[in-house]
Structure 1
Amino acid sequence: MTERLLISALKGGKNTKIITLNGKKMTKMPSTLEKLPGLNTLNLQNNRIPKVCPEISTLTQFQNLKLSEFYCEENPLLLKKPIVTVQQEDVWSLQEIASRFVMNQLSEDNSLLAQAVELYPQIRNIISRGKKCAICGKSFLTVWLECVQFSPPSKNWKISRNLQLIPLQVLVCSYKCFTQRGANLFGIVQA
């Protein structure tokens, strides 16, 4: 059945705009996708595809973007195996320590410190780049850990009904906070 659908799509050539192959128990993406330069929508939901094929990059090159919709939910595309990392002691620069102190004092409405910061625009400039930790809520200057949290999408978003969780970028100030994370928050590591 899958082969027949692909053959008919190939016969359409440049005119083929949509391919729907969801639930076909496919284990890899069809390599013939690169022969369909007019393809706009590719639906490969509910298959067994473990990785994205190189041919998909032909369709999604930034300067000549053709593929505008790509549905791949319920495929094992992401490695869901946690990697244990060595947690290092937090060693911050003097600027990081001072910035964290100032930003956290300002959030507690320390008026004396607020007046002092007004006199030094370079300090205002530095602390304006501060971020809040997703776990403890305290301020920090440099990103200590970049994480991803899987959350349900907003009801106002126009997305596939099958999408139950979306990945959101979350910043964490230290390994100490990272060890106190919830079940849906994961550290990002380059493998």
Structure 2
Amino acid sequence: MAEQLLVRALKGGKSTKIVTLNGKKMTKMPSTLGKLPGLKILDLQNNLIPNVCPEISTLTQFQNMKLKEFYCEENPLFLKQPVTAAQLEEVWSLQEITSRFIMNQLEDRNPFLMEAIEWYPQVRDTLSKGRKCAICGKSFLTIWIDCVEFVPPSKSWKINRNLQLVPLQMLICSYKCFNQRGPNRFGIAQV
């Protein structure tokens, strides 16, 4: 039955706006949903789906929310079960140390570095890949801790009343900052 509904939705292509697969005992999110760029409402409630497929990330990026309504309640998608992780001492590469220093100096508008960076497009390109720590706000390049923060959904979203928290990805620059995180932030680990 779920397959028939999905085939019908795929035939609609870009014009498919709503897909309802509620209570179909599905154990996997259909990766073909990524082929529906016009999708606005996705209902996958009351299934047995343990994780979100990577193909659907283009539809559910919270920054450019293309999907207006996403119902995923009663699926074992997110388990908030904290486990203790070993905090290994970080040994940063010379590139990471230098990049962090330069990116943070550029934030402070250091005129010497701002002028010097114009002469090295390769360095400018490398630094453009930098990210900001969700805790301290400082820049980092390649080494971070992947975290998730559970926040109340925006009031502008049309969601089920039962949905109280939404997971948002956070990047943290070091274990020092990780140890200062709030109670609703968790490190992501493979278990």
Q: TM-score, normalised by structure 2?
A: 0.68
**Aligned-pair distance for 1:158?**
2.7
Corresponding position of 2:52: none
Determine the structure 1 residue equivalent to 2:44: 70
**8 Å contact 1:99–1:141 — kept in the other structure?**
yes
- Which stretch of the first structure deviates more once superposed, 89-98 or 76-85? 76-85
Distance 2:113 2:120 in 1: 11
Partner of 2:186: 186
Give the aligned partner of residue 102 of structure 2.
102
Cα distance in 2, alignment partners of residues 144 and 96 from structure 1? 11
Give the secondary structure class of the aligned counterpart of 2:170. strand
Following the alignment from structure 1 to structure 2, what is the Cα–Cα distance between the partners of residues 92 and 64?
37
Work out the CA distance in 2 between the residues paired with 1:125 and 1:63.
34
Equivalent position of 2:137 in the other structure? 137
- Check 1:164–1:79 CA distance in 2 against 1; reply closer, same or farther (3 A cut): closer
Distance 1:78 1:68, change over 3 A: closer
1:146 shift after superposition:
0.6
Cα deviation, residue 69, structure 1 = 1.7
Query: Structure 2 CA distance, aligned partners of 1:92 and 1:43?
Result: 47
> Deviation of residue 74 (structure 1)?
5.0
**Alpha-carbon deviation of 1:62?**
1.8
Question: Percent identity, aligned pairs only?
Answer: 57
Alignment of 1:1-191 (within 5 A): 40-44=19-23, 53-54=26-27, 56-57=28-29, 60-62=30-32, 68-71=42-45, 72-74=72-74, 77-191=77-191
Give yes or no for contact 1:117–1:124 (8 Å, CA) kept in 2: yes
- Root-mean-square deviation (CA, aligned residues, Å) is 2.7
**How far apart are the structure 1 equivalents of 2:146 and 2:106?**
24
Which letter maps to 1:135?
A: I
Q: 1:63 to 1:108 in 2, by over 3 A?
A: closer
Q: SS state of the match for residue 162, structure 2?
A: coil
Q: Secondary structure at the match of 1:97?
A: helix
Gaps of 5+ in 1: 1-12, 14-32, 45-51
Counterpart in the other structure of 2:50 = none
Partner Cα distance (1:155, 1:36) in 2 = 30
In structure 2, the gaps of 5 or more residues are 10-18, 46-71
CA 1:190–1:97: 2 relative to 1, 3 Å: same
Partner Cα distance (2:158, 2:123) in 1: 42
Task: Kindly tell me the number of residue pairs found equivalent between the two proteins.
Answer: 150
* Aligned-pair CA distance for 1:161: 2.8
Instruction: Give the match's secondary structure for 1:115.
Output: helix
Distance 1:171 1:77, change over 3 A: closer
**1:150–1:168 contact (8 Å) kept in structure 2:** yes
